[in-house]
Structure 1
Amino acid sequence: MFSIFDLSLQLNGFPIRKAKSDLDKIVALSPSEKKQFIEKQKQSIVEFHLENNAFYQKLVGSKEYKNWEDLPVLSKSNLQSPLETRLSKGFTTKNCYLNKTSGSSGIPFIFAKDKYTHALTWASNMYRFGLHGIDFNRSLQARFYGIPLDFVGYKKERIKDFLGHRYRFPVFDLSDAVLEKMLKKFETIPFEYLNGYTSSIVLFAKFLRKRNLILATICPTLKVCMVTSEMLFEEDRKLLETQFGIPIINEYGASELDLIAFESQNVGTEVEWLVNSETLFVEILDENNNSVPNGTKGKIVITSLFNKANPFIRYEIGDIGILDEKSTLEKPILKQLIGRTNDVAILPSGKKSPGLTFYYVTKSIIEDDGNVKEFVIKQTKIDRFEIEYVSETELNLAQIQKIEQAIALYLEPHLHFTFIRKNTLERTARGKLKQFTSFL
């Protein structure tokens, strides 16, 4: 029987019933059958685009498909041409699902999915959330996301929220007064789960800690919290577990693809970040686009196994990560997500460090007493950085010196930092917080 969310997809031309049925069959495959399925699907999607997509034919330079490793790696800049020039035969802007990437990499573009692939994306979401007891047709979501502020965009999102059983808390203003109002909603609305940007949900947890409150006590219907779109640090996970009193699940996805990795239920004491191998094929490559061994960091490169409208074949998403040593083709496990390829600081010595290194170093020191709520780091010159932060009281000289000593130890000495206290930090149009930015 259809429920309102499934019905809304079906009425909009997205065949969710077929997508769910097909996904169930893929999930049920044995390990050897799954390997065959992935290899067959890889070949099928490449052959389709070589035959039907002039944009992809030109990129490959031929209609012939021989070796997977010889296929080009797509960069985001490849996809910044007009969408009409990238669509396959039979697909138009009228018969596809269209959307725009968030631009968190600094390179936004418009993309298309055929309607079956978009339905499969929703089936994949429903399946993975369902593993944690969440039903999109019935479970009420507390949604910590941005929202378009223009009239039409705002109304559209609110309608989608209604159909998706979501109550949205816009994240552009997270002052204590606003967080207090959010808390009141949890006292009266039977939410089953939280979902949204990591930084916003962490800020809500810090507010609860200050008030000495546990969210599951206030809202006993809560089952789980899914965080997405931004890094989840181990200390933040502990904070969320403590202040919410429910399991915390880390989600990694991309709107142009699907959910990429989703944490499993606890296996003993270990939480595994399972990679989606039902609708995607994930590779880790070095700078020369060669595969690296499991356990080695590299560029995350992803193939959409089904999307016929718009080729995403060996697509470099812009992130750096590591697959676990025990990963297999049919059961890949993401060991670590390190950050974005464009979030790299180049230092005076010539050393290159992921921007998150600064964040890790400063985070533990800066938050010792819970004074600092949020902060971001900006590189303005090769040896100069700004740390913008929101806090109850200004950082004192001893705290600043401690941070500078840690950075000299972990990175290199003679780097100069300016600390700027602010009332709020600048977020993207969608409400995300970019933790490190280089302006070099």
Structure 2
Amino acid sequence: MRIFDLSLKLNGFNIDKARAALADIQAKTDAEFETYINAQKKRIISYHLEHNSFYKALGKTVDVNDWNSVPIITKKNLQQPLEQRLSDGFTPRNVYVNKTSGSSGDPFIFAKDKWCHALTWAEIMNRFGWYGIDFNSSKQARFYGIPLDKKGYYKERLKDYFGNRFRFSVFDLSDAAFDETIAKFKTDTFEFINGYTSPIVQFAKYLKQKDLLLKTICPSLKVCIVTSEMLFDDDKALMEKQFGVPVVNEYGASELDLIAFQNTDDQWQVNNETLYVEVLDNNGAVLPYGEEGRIVITSLYNTAHPFIRYDIGDIGSLSEKSTIRKPILKKLVGRTNDIAVLPSGKKAAGLTFYYITKSVIENDGNVSEFIIEQLKLDHFMIRFVSRIELSKAKKDIIIAEMEHYLESGISVSFERVEQLKRTKAGKLKQFISKL
């Protein structure tokens, strides 16, 4: 039984139709493909200009025949209640709704129509298939966070069951936790590892310390696919040596789709089937292949919510070898997260703070930006930009969550500021260790 496909269908995502649609797109000739991209760009703009009042207000001067007239959407534009951003006929009940991680420091709630989300899954399954991975049959070792509240915890575990995966929490990267991880790899027939880069790097370092090769422990392992954080060359080399399988770099955004995926020729191939990716300068002009600038992305199928020329907050460049048919991501700047080291010696992945700061993210868009700095082993500072001050009750909830996910005995300070300091690349790094 294809349980993963069934779970998607039960949630309203027609994966069979989406796979067939993606195959049709991929079968187009070069000339047909360019025509398809241009037609989809016009179609999605026209749709939102007609059916989305939020986008009508943004796109008053849009000429559908002049792509340069289309405005850039930033995350700040989207920090307002979701209901105000949905297209006609869509409500939070009939769309896929989620929150961005806030890794850029600009969190918001977003939506996709169910057809768009089905195409997202078709794209992901297609790319993983390059390495012999079938979501219906290939067991996944998943290095992600997991909610610690009872309802959230069991909901994720249930999703993991239907997704044919076992989740290793990134909240505890201690030696004892990694010993348990190794024991699990000895008994399960995992075919692939998938998850956040930093905890998987820490696992590879522990295997090196113990002089262990994961492929020997788990012969069924085929590939390791990392996401959400920057993968450095030396970390990739370490992981490939200790795992004994290829390490593949994935670049995606939950509000969009899989953006780029390392192909079997070691190229970071951009998804140009459901997305349109551009690199722009500070004035909004398209840069030639090879030049570094702002990554701006259009979702070609999301009719529920406009992501048209959306500035994702990353800096990068497309390779000179790119074509309309096959764009190659040459460089991506940022998206790294540090490891938090606690007084007990326990370590936790920087993306742990996604689960903590969820309590800060509200649909009213009060908190627009935030960063967390570790100033001492036991002292964390949360700096944030908001319309109104956080209440003592809200701060107490955040402190309690910090202790719940990390450990007791830590202190947390808050500072409301007018503006947060950004990197030279224009990004906010959600977690910064000053140790």
Q: Shorter chain as normaliser: what TM range?
A: 0.7 to 0.9
Aligned residue for 1:243, secondary structure, equals: helix
The equivalent residue for 1:261 is: 260
Q: Are residues 1:276 and 2:275 paired?
A: no
Distance 1:69 1:388 in 2: 48
Partner of 1:379: none
Q: Verify: 1:34 aligned to 2:33, yes or no.
A: yes
What residue in structure 2 maps to residue 299 of structure 1? Answer: 294
| Corresponding residue of 2:94 | 95
Q: 1:327 aligned to 2:312?
A: no
Distance 1:29 1:167, change over 3 A: same
TM-score, with normalisation over the residues of structure 1? 0.77
Q: Which amino acid aligns with 1:231?
A: M
* Equivalent residues, number: 360
- Counterpart residue number, 1:366: none
- Shift in Å at residue 386 of structure 1? 8.2
Q: Can you list the C-alpha shifts for 1:256-307, whole angstroms capped at 9, x where unaligned?
A: 00100000013xxxx1000000100000001111111110100000000000
Is the 1:49–1:308 contact (alpha carbons within 8 Å) kept by the matching residues of 2? Answer: yes
The answer for the alignment partner of 1:19 in structure 2 is: 18
Instruction: Give structure 2 stretches of 5+ with no counterpart.
Output: 339-346, 351-372, 378-405, 411-428
Equivalent residue letter for 2:286 = S
Aligned to 1:213: 212
Partner of 2:232: 233
- Shift of the 201–387 alpha-carbon distance from structure 1 to 2, 3 Å rule, reads farther
TM-superposed deviation, 1:437: 3.9
Q: CA deviation at 1:83?
A: 0.7
Q: CA deviation at 1:8?
A: 1.1
Counterparts of 2:69 and 2:433 in 1: how far apart (Å)?
33
Moved more, 23-32 or 201-210: 23-32
Aligned counterparts of 1:375 and 1:193: Cα–Cα separation in 2: 20
**CA RMSD, 1 decimal:** 2.7
- Alignment of 1:202 with 2:201, yes or no, is yes
Separation in 2 of the partners of 1:116 and 1:65?
A: 23
Which ranges in structure 1 are unaligned for 5 or more consecutive residues?
A: 344-355, 360-372, 377-384, 390-421, 427-433
Residue of structure 2 in register with 1:382 after alignment:
none
Contact kept, 8 Å, 1:57 with 1:63, in 2: the verdict is: no
Aligned-residue offset at 1:151: 1.5
Alpha-carbon distance change, 388 to 262 in structure 1, aligned in 2, over 3 angstroms = farther
Partners of 2:238 and 2:348 lie apart in 1 by 14
Residue of 331, 334, 339 corresponding to 1:339: 334
Secondary structure of 2:190's counterpart equals coil
1:199 match: secondary structure? helix
Structure 1 counterpart of 2:118: 119
1:289 aligns with 2:288: no
- Map of 1:182 onto structure 2: 181
| Contact residue 172 and residue 348 of structure 2 kept, 8 A | no
Q: Contact 2:173–2:348 at 8 Å: present in 1 too? A: no
The question of whether the paired residues in 2 share the 8 Å contact of 1:279 and 1:306 is answered with yes
Q: For 1:305 and 1:149, locate their aligned partners in 2 and report how far apart those are by CA, in whole Å.
A: 36
Conservation of the 8 A alpha-carbon contact between 2:226 and 2:247: yes
User: What's 1:311 paired with?
Assistant: 306
1:124-176: CA deviations, max 9, x gaps? 11000011100000000000000111121111111110111110001101100
**1:105 is the counterpart of 2:104:** yes
Summarize the Cα distance change of 1:66–1:39 in structure 2 as closer, same or farther, 3 Å threshold. Answer: closer
| CA distances 1:302-339 after superposition (whole Å, capped 9, x unpaired) | 00000000000000000000100111112110001111
Contact 2:171 2:349 in 1 (8 A): no
Tell me the TM-score normalised to structure 2 length.
0.78
| Deviations 1:228-255 (CA, angstroms, capped at 9, x unpaired) | 0001000001000100000000000000
CA distance in 2, matches of 1:186, 1:423: 27
